[in-house]
Structure formats: C-alpha cells, structure tokens
Amino acid sequence: MPAQAKIKIGVIGASGYTGADLIRLAACHPHMKIALLAANTHAGKALGDVFPHLGFIGGPALVKAEDADWSACDAVFCGLPHGTAQDIVATLPESVKVIDMSADFRLRDTGTYAKWYGREHAASHLLKNAVYGLTEFYGEAIAKARLVACPGCYPTAALLALLPLVHAKLVDPADIVIDAKSGVSGAGRSLKQNILFSETGEGLSPYSIASHRHAPEIEQEISAAAGEQVLVNFTPHLVPMSRGELVTAYVRLAAGHQPADLSAALEARYKAAHFVKLAPKGTLPSTQFVRGSNYCMIGVYADRIPGRAIVVSAIDNLVKGSAGQAIQNFNLMYGFPESAGLEQLPLFP
C-alpha cells in the first residue's frame, strides 16, 4: 500500500459517546479516512448537527446501517450496544476488518454470553476467530485478526493492573476484590433516570452489585492467566463526572512476596508499553492524570493488613476504555505504529 494511502473506515453507532470519541480521534489519524458514518436514529443528519464539536471536520452525513455500502470501507468500528452489534457484524463483507467496541464478541463461551446478556448469540460462528482486544496482551493475535473484540472499560482498567500479577503468581487469584468507579458517559447517551443530572450530581452510588456484565469478562481473562476457574468480587460505582475510570483492587499476596514485587512485575511487563505507565513515586493514580488520553496509570501500595496489597488503575473510559484502544488495535491490524493518532496528552485540569 502506498505510503500516502489512507484506510477507509466506517463507524456504526456514530451518534453515541464511544462513536463520537472514535470520530474525534480518527479525524487526526495520519492513516485514516472517515468514509461512512451510521446512526439509525440520526440518519440523514450532518455530523455537526448531532455533535457540534465535530462539525469542524465535515465528514459524510449519517446513514442507516442497513442502507450503508460497507464494501466501500476497509475497516469498520462498531459502537453499538450489546445484543445489537452481532446482527450487523455478521452481515459485513468478509473483506472488511471489524473492530467491535460492544460486548458481543468478548466472551468466548456462548452459554456465558446468554446468561449475562439475556439472549442467545446470533453470530456464534464468528467467535472462534474473534480476538480479545486487550492490546498489551494479545498484540500478536490482533495484528493477524479480521475481527477484534475490544474489552469493556472496567475490564481494561482491572486487567491491565492484575493480569501481570496473576501470570507471575504473585497474588492469590481466588482473593481479588475490585472496587471500580466510572464517569456517567459509561452508561451511554440514551435517556435513563439514574443518569439525569439531578439524580447523579452531588452523589456517588454503586450499581449492578454482584451482577455487572463486565464481571464474567474479567473472570474469563484472570482464569486464563491463573490456569483455573476464578471468581472475583467486582462492584462498580457511578461518579458525577462525564469521563474517567478508577479501579482499586485489593489482593492477597502469594507466600513469600511483598508489594514491591508487584511493582517490579508491572514495571517489567510494561517496560516497552507505550500507553501503560506506573505512577511515579509519591503520586497516586487519578482520572485527572489520564483524562482525554489513551494512557493507563497504575500504582501498587502496601495494605495495613499484613500479606495484602492495594493496586490502583486509572484510565479514560471513552479512550483507553473504548475508542482509543480500538484505534490502538486498528494500528496493529494494519501494521502502523501503535501510537498513531493517539499521541494526545491528558487534559489537565
């Protein structure tokens, strides 16, 4: 492919928050051309009419997904809700690479999917070739994939912090407690009572206690790393901010190990990683330090309880937790530098 050629991309679900952030990042990507935008509820509208902040880039008008000519695209990003992405992805031409930001291709077991998402998987024939898109751990497979299933935002923050520790057998995988907090954009853009300003502002609330759909995704990956079936204690919370995610994981150290060993393992695992960084000494990971960027900041701290440690991970839920990671995977799939189009530094304050 000539150096000046650009990959023609399409975005399904272009009127959602993840779709909007994907477009924002793609507009500045040196190797992308936005060729098609689909959003059924806003079909016929100009992009700037749906998102005025994106009106500066022009771009194609929005169309219905079923009316789109996907053969005009080289790659398609899908930002639809779970349960709807699989139906459209199954109809896309084989020549089109797919980076799915929904939950429809993340779980490898169709029974687990049906249990947690309330419907049978309609495109199970695609699962065998779907690659889990946690870039720092599945990079080689992602580079060869046609279909990449990007992780959820909570699993991204949690797994980046925990997988190296489980792989190295530094912590007990049967004793992991994950306390997670997300900005309201993680709930999507549709109208819901619990995310109205009057209900969310000036408050902090847990939700989906012991029943959040990201739990089996976290367990799937930790179980694979541990070599045994693992259950985790995972509780998400809604924070009155638009974007950002903070995961605090409480772990029991394996016999003979100290919190410093955990830091050393993370440092070694991410030494060459572009977007995962350990918090400098004296700094606590915070959503303010990664906001608007594709970075993940991780820190390890000794617990007051002997034999335990606290691992903290911060990401932007719409970037590293969704659209940014999707573009990171796109870069690998096309052989571009992993950081292409993602060099934005965090916004502060």
Give the closest residue to 172 by CA, choosing from 248, 107, 256, 236. 256
Catalytic residues: 153
Give the closest residue to 323 by CA, choosing from 44, 3, 97, 14. 14
Dist CA 259 CA 63 (whole Å): 52
Dist CA 25 CA 254 (whole Å): 41
Greatest alpha-carbon pair distance for the chain in Å reads 63
Q: What is the 3-state secondary structure (H, E, C) of the chain?
A: CCCCCCEEEEEECCCCHHHHHHHHHHCCCCCEEEEEEECHHHCCCCHHHHCHHHHHHCCCCEECHHHCCHHHCCEEEECCCCCCHHHHHCCCCCCCEEEECCCCCCCCCHHHHHHHHCCCCCCHHHHHHEEECCHHHHHHHHHHCCEEECCCHHHHHHHHHHHHHHHCCCEEEEEEEEEEEEEHHHHCCCCCHHHCHHHHCCCCEECCCCCCCCHHHHHHHHHHHHCCCCCCEEEEEEECCCCCEEEEEEEEECCCCCHHHHHHHHHHHCCCCCCEEECCCCCCCCHHHCCCCCCEEEEEEECCCCCEEEEEEEECCCHHHHHHHHHHHHHHHCCCCCCCCCCCCCCCC
